[in-house]
Amino acid sequence: MTQLLNPNRRAKRVKISAKLGMILTSCLLASACTAASVPAGSPEHEANHSDVGNNDVVAQNKETQVLQQAKQIKDDLAAGNYEALTPYIHPVKGVRFSMYAYIHKDADKVFRREQFTTYLQQSRVKFTWGAKDGTGDLYITTLPNFLDHWVAAQQYDFKDATFNQFQGSGNSLNNLKEVYPNADFVEFYHSGKNPEYQGMDWRAMRLVFEEYQGKSYLVAIVNDQWTV
């Protein structure tokens, strides 16, 4: 049996629905007016934009700090003043040395601060740093000799350095960002000298930094060059 609606109840429901609609419309209009009522230059407006400005300043300060550290490290390496690097080395992770762009997490040599200092002094101790591209011959030498001849920081100029930007690119896979996803790096680039090689004798040195207790420290020195 079909149930008949009471006309009075029906009218009451229509009034309630209409009232709800008016309330919702008023709320939407009030929200829009509130958002539009914050004028440029007001404290609220400035507060919203100050966070963005502060973030930019922090990023610029960090970039400046890392670049300054990278320049000092490069200058010390170029001058053979290797022990001066020790305070820059990450206190927990130490510093890694990678012969090429592809970082071998399980094979690269990593030195903690005290080890780095020890093997600079014990200059006859040799290490296997990796295999040379092309020949596959193992590169075995001392820490000072590796810094002298493979890292070879004296060939780079600070004016060619870039922050978090790669310049050199060859056939070797570059996994720096995968191994150090939260790091910053400074790349020193040398475009090559011999015209016969058409730029294929380029070299790069990447100094990789990670933050620890509010300060950036050196966690890796990654060299790169053209590979076959």
Verify that 25 and 92 share a domain, yes or no.
no
Quick check: 93 pLDDT over 90?
A: yes
Helix, strand or coil, per DSSP, at residue 145: helix
Quick check: 78 pLDDT over 80?
A: yes
Nearest CA among 227, 126, 212 for reference residue 172: 227
In a domain, 3, yes or no: no
Verify that 37 and 66 share a domain, yes or no.
no
Verify that 75 and 100 share a domain, yes or no.
yes
Range(s) of the domain holding residue 19: 8-45
Provide the pLDDT confidence category of residue 172 given band limits of 50, 70 and 90: confident
Verify that 100 and 150 share a domain, yes or no.
yes
Average pLDDT over residues 133-155: 95
Verify that 41 and 60 share a domain, yes or no.
no
Domain count, the chain: 2
In a domain, 132, yes or no: yes
Measured CA to CA, the distance from residue 84 to residue 75 in angstroms comes to: 10
Verify that 152 and 39 share a domain, yes or no.
no
Average pLDDT over residues 54-61: 79
In a domain, 182, yes or no: yes
Which domain CATH number covers 132? Answer: 3.10.450.50
pLDDT at res. 29? 42
Residue 24 belongs to what H/E stretch?
A: helix 7-36
Quick check: 6 pLDDT over 80?
A: no
Verify that 76 and 159 share a domain, yes or no.
yes
Is 95 in contact with 69 (CB distance < 8 Å)?
no
Average pLDDT over residues 189-212: 81
Verify that 137 and 168 share a domain, yes or no.
yes
Is 214 in contact with 65 (CB distance < 8 Å)?
no
Verify that 27 and 83 share a domain, yes or no.
no
Verify that 156 and 62 share a domain, yes or no.
yes
Verify that 100 and 40 share a domain, yes or no.
no
pLDDT at res. 40? 55
Quick check: 99 pLDDT over 60?
A: yes
**The whole model's pTM is what?**
0.74
In a domain, 185, yes or no: yes
Verify that 29 and 96 share a domain, yes or no.
no
Higher pLDDT, 32 or 151: 151
